[in-house]
Amino acid sequence: MSVTPPILEVRNAQVYRRNTQVFNNLNLTLEQGESVAIIGPNGAGKTTLLKLINREIYPVVQPDSHLKLFGEERIKVDILRKKMGTVSFESQIKHDTLANGLEVVVSAFFGSVGIHSHHQVLPQHKAAAIKIMQELGIAHLADRQYLLLSTGQQRRLLLARAMVHNPKVLVLDEPTSGLDLKSAFQLLADIRSLCSKGTTLILVTHHIQEIVPEIGKVIFLKNGEITRQGAKEDLLTDAALSELYDVPIHASERAGYYSAVPNSAPL
């Protein structure tokens, strides 16, 4: 019987960004099939954690420490890209390109932003891009110049780009930031439809309303430490969120979505 390895398994890791130690002893396992949201205050280490998952940065090499992605310590970046798609605000800014919508999605096959003269676009690349664009209801954006689209349309194209390899895992970094309510709801609906087809989500966010009902587990990150992890119902509470952010918070749930407002009542 083959056991599915975790998406991420990191043990006793020390991680630096230049001279700043972000993690002193990071231990975390993210399982395939278990969608999670990672939340925490500014500077907690969320982006650094995502960069570890994307292989943009590495922990300090030391005995008794390892970081495995999909069960491998030395996974190649092109293999990783096929297993895991990413949508982030940063990737949106990087797409400063003359490419049209279809080219932006196809460019995932080259790990680039837009298509360049040395790229050989194959019929199967285009077919895969058109298929996912149709699934996400954005086939009409294929010929539109990316930079002239609204932020919401661009974000949906980046979601298609992240999913063109049909990865099992989708990493989302504040996916609805900068979107109006209609565009945000549309994107969340797109994400939910991917979940219903078996995609596992890793969501990093400040906005708890982005935690779609399909995400069952929440991880708290504060000052480079995982302070709590567990079921959403247990962690998205007034007391737990107030402690995480050091401010009185009132959380509520409706139709599977959570929201948070300032809490003026005494705790």
Chain residues that interact with ligand ATP, rule: CB under 6 A: 17-18, 20, 22, 40, 42-48
Whichever of 114 and 175 has its CB closer to ligand ATP, that residue is 175
Query: Residue 255 Cβ, how far from ligand ATP at the closest point, in Å?
Result: 27
Query: Residue 76 Cβ, how far from ligand ATP at the closest point, in Å?
Result: 25
Whichever of 20 and 150 has its CB closer to ligand ATP, that residue is 20
Query: Residue 136 Cβ, how far from ligand ATP at the closest point, in Å?
Result: 27
First to last CA, the chain: 50
Query: Residue 224 Cβ, how far from ligand ATP at the closest point, in Å?
Result: 7
- Which long-range CB contacts under 8 A does 177-184 form with residues at least 24 apart? 177/89, 177/207, 178/89, 178/151, 179/151, 179/152, 179/155, 180/152, 182/152, 183/150, 183/151, 183/152, 183/155, 184/152
Whichever of 47 and 151 has its CB closer to ligand ATP, that residue is 47
- Residue 193 has, within 13 A of its CA and on its CB side, a CA count of 13
In angstroms, the CA 53 to CA 204 distance is 12
